[in-house]
Every structure is written in C-alpha cells, then in structure tokens.
C-alpha cells in the first residue's frame, strides 16, 4: 500500500479538513440548504453524518480488534449553529484522541478488505471522507475548492486500495483502468475473475486523466466521466460504478 502521508500528517490534515468543514457550515445562509452533491441531504444532515460518524470511528478505534464497529451513546446534534460547531469540533477531537492513543498499527474493526485493519488505515480513510464532505459543504455555499494536492494524491491510491480492491469476481471480461493525475502519478486497476486490485503498468482498456482532486471527486461520484479526459472503452467505467461486489 503506497502512502505518502505519515500518521502524524494524517492526524494534522484530519484536523485541518474538519476546520474547513466547520467554516463552510458557519458561512452557510441556512442549515436547511440542500447539498448539490448529496441531493437527499441538507447541510444539517451532512453535519449530522460528520459528527456521528467521527464519534463512531473514535469508539471503534479505541475498542481495538473486534468483530463489529463499536456502539456509541447518542450525542444529539444541537440546533443552534454555535453549539453545532462546538459539537462538530468535539467529534473531531474524539477521533483524533482515539487515533493518537492507538497509534497506526493497533488493530481495529474495519469494513474493507484491501487495506489493513488498523488505526492507520482508519486515519487514512477518515481524511478522505472529511476532504470529500468538506467539498460537499463548500459547494453548498458556492465556495467549492479543489482538494489539497497532498490529500488528493493519496486519496486516489487510498480509494483504489480501500473502496475498490476485492476478491469478488469481476462479472465482465477482464479489463484494466489507468488513472493519470496531471501532477505526475498514475495507477492501474485490474479486474478479472480474481477480483479487483492495483496492478503493474500495462496497456489499459480505458483511461482517465485529470488533477488528483478531480480524480478523487470522480471516484466519489462528485464528477462525471465527461469532467475528466477519458480514452478507451467507456463501458468499463459504467460497469465499475454499477458493480456491487458480494
């Protein structure tokens, strides 16, 4: 697993993206505004997701190796904005404290199979979740910014390792997608009867080229295929998006 960001970097950037998320919430004209990239949610719903999710992961990391994510006592989200911002800040502090106490190598429950079941992998994924949802909050208030380059470059690799890598058989003919970040890095993702995984450089069935930020946003459904430069068979992207591994 390639990871250009050290554990201390991950914790620092989680704190930074969390602050950026709170700044977007603070600047919103209303918490009832719809989130364009999550149309079923209002900004209040997105804030609830951020606060509750970080507390759950904090408890899961603190619990150590387990067969399921930790149960968490409900901490109701305040309705007043100033109190809501404090509630969000406290949730981030709980997550960072749990990660720091655990260290990167402590095992814990995770839902994925392609990345290690430990606190370091949780920190890495939590950073990406916060980065993408900060983008969601920013676009909601009309102030969207690209994901920071260091976060985005690690985010492409993290998404492919954590969210795509699987041993579930690919239900179509074998294929390879090449993702090229204009910052200078590339990844090749192979699909066949053995599942999906990052592979060595090879001739791809399809390719996508964009900034690392736009690649991450494309992977998380915040960009369409038309928003990146693509080559090859576009059906491979459609099949990947529709694929639900067992």
pLDDT class for 2, splitting at 50, 70, 90?
low
Kindly state whether residues 134 and 163 are assigned to the same domain: no
Residue 2 located in a structural domain? no
Q: What gap in Å lies between CA 155 and CA 125, rounded to an integer? A: 8
Kindly state whether residues 131 and 68 are assigned to the same domain: yes
Give the model confidence (pLDDT) of 40-76 as tens digits.
999 999 999 999 999 999 999 999 999 999 999 889 9
Q: What gap in Å lies between CA 225 and CA 37, rounded to an integer? A: 15
Q: Which two tokens stand for residue 37?
A: 């990239």
Given 120, 145, 170, which residue is the final one in a domain?
Answer: 145
pLDDT at 4 over 90: no
For residue 70, what are the CA distances in angstroms to 31, 96, 205, 208, 233?
A: 29, 16, 41, 38, 42
**In this predicted structure, what is the pLDDT of residue 1?**
44
Kindly state whether residues 59 and 109 are assigned to the same domain: yes
Kindly state whether residues 125 and 206 are assigned to the same domain: no
Kindly state whether residues 116 and 194 are assigned to the same domain: no
Give the residue numbers spanning the domain of 215: 151-242
Query: Angle at Cα 181 formed by Cα 175 and Cα 182, nearest 5°?
Result: 135
Give the model confidence (pLDDT) of 171-222 as tens digits.
999 999 999 999 999 999 999 999 999 999 999 999 999 999 999 999 999 9
Residue 1 located in a structural domain? no
Given 102, 124, 145, which residue is the final one in a domain?
Answer: 145
Query: Angle at Cα 108 formed by Cα 12 and Cα 193, nearest 5°?
Result: 100
* Total structural domains within the chain: 2
């Amino acid at each position: 697993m390639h990871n250009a960001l050290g554990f201390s970097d991950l914790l620092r950037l989680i704190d930074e993206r969390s602050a950026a998320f709170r700044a977007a919430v603070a600047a919103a004209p209303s918490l009832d505004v719809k989130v364009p990239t999550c149309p079923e949610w209002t900004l209040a719903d997105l804030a609830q997701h951020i606060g509750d999710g970080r507390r759950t992961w904090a408890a899961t990391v603190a619990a150590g190796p387990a067969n399921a994510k930790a149960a968490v006592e409900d901490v109701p989200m305040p309705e007043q904005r100033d109190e809501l911002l404090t509630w969000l800040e406290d949730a981030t502090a709980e997550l960072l404290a749990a990660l720091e106490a655990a260290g990167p190598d402590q095992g814990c429950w995770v839902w994925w199979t392609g990345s290690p079941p430990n606190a370091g992998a949780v920190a890495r994924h939590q950073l990406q979740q916060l980065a993408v949802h900060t983008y969601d909050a920013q676009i909601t208030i009309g102030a969207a910014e690209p994901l920071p380059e260091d976060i985005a470059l690690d985010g492409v690799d993290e998404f492919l390792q954590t969210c795509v890598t699987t041993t579930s058989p690919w239900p179509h003919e074998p294929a390879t997608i090449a993702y090229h970040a204009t910052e200078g890095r590339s990844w090749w993702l192979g699909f066949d009867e053995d599942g999906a995984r990052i592979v060595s450089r090879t001739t791809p069935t399809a390719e996508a080229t964009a900034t690392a930020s736009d690649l991450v946003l494309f992977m998380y459904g915040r960009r369409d295929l038309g928003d990146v430069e693509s080559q090859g068979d576009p059906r491979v992207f459609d099949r990947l998006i529709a694929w639900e591994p067992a």
